[in-house]
Amino acid sequence: MKFQRLAIPDLILIEPDVYQDHRGYFMETFRADLLGEFLGFQPAFCQDNQSKSHRGVLRGLHYQSAPFSQNKLVRVISGCIIDVAVDIRPNSSTFGQYVSLILDATSQKQIFIPAGFAHGFLALEDNTICAYKVDAYYSAECSRGLAFDDPDIGINWHQYLPDDCHLILSHQDQNQPHLREITT
């Protein structure tokens, strides 16, 4: 596995070694020892989540507040997404900044997103399946969100879709607060 720090250094791109032959491929999708060695701490992943989305579905931007803040390890099993992580740590030098990248089933790349980031993704293909590990259980009371279209953050989700495709969001994701309104 290869680990690379992104523009916001706490976000980590992970590229697994994929072994292909005439039968298909094999890869290790997660190694606690290698990830822990790179991070300098060991996330205790306790829950796996998976979603299936149609092209144009935007999920996010989501996070959980303390005491259920989550580190996440995100990957795509089928299809392709634009994955986005927004730094919402109030004392961070990169507060309000985001990183976006393509994750797909072909490259098998993953992203580690630490607690203190809002996370979301846009499905670029039908039948996109996204899976992620978290190190704190889901808590409805601690579930929070951030406006996907917050002008202070400036994510241009529409640039990734053709003109004939529109964003599809849940009612909840259409009505999240702006960055300046949240308290983590």
Active site residue 54: no
Contact predicate 8/94, CB 8 Å: yes
Using DSSP's 3-state secondary structure scheme, residue 183 falls into coil
Active-site option among 98, 132, 138, 158: 132
Tokens found for residue 183: 């308290």
- What per-residue string of b and e applies to 127-148 under the rule 16 or more CB within 10 Å gives b? ebbbbbbbbbeeeeebebbbbb
Using DSSP's 3-state secondary structure scheme, residue 35 falls into helix
Active-site option among 62, 63, 119, 160: 62
Active site residue 62: yes
Determine the distance from the C-alpha atom of residue 118 to the mean position of all C-alpha atoms in its chain, rounded to a whole number: 8
How far is Cα 76 from Cα 87, in angstroms, rounded to an integer?
Answer: 22
Residues with a known catalytic role:
62, 132
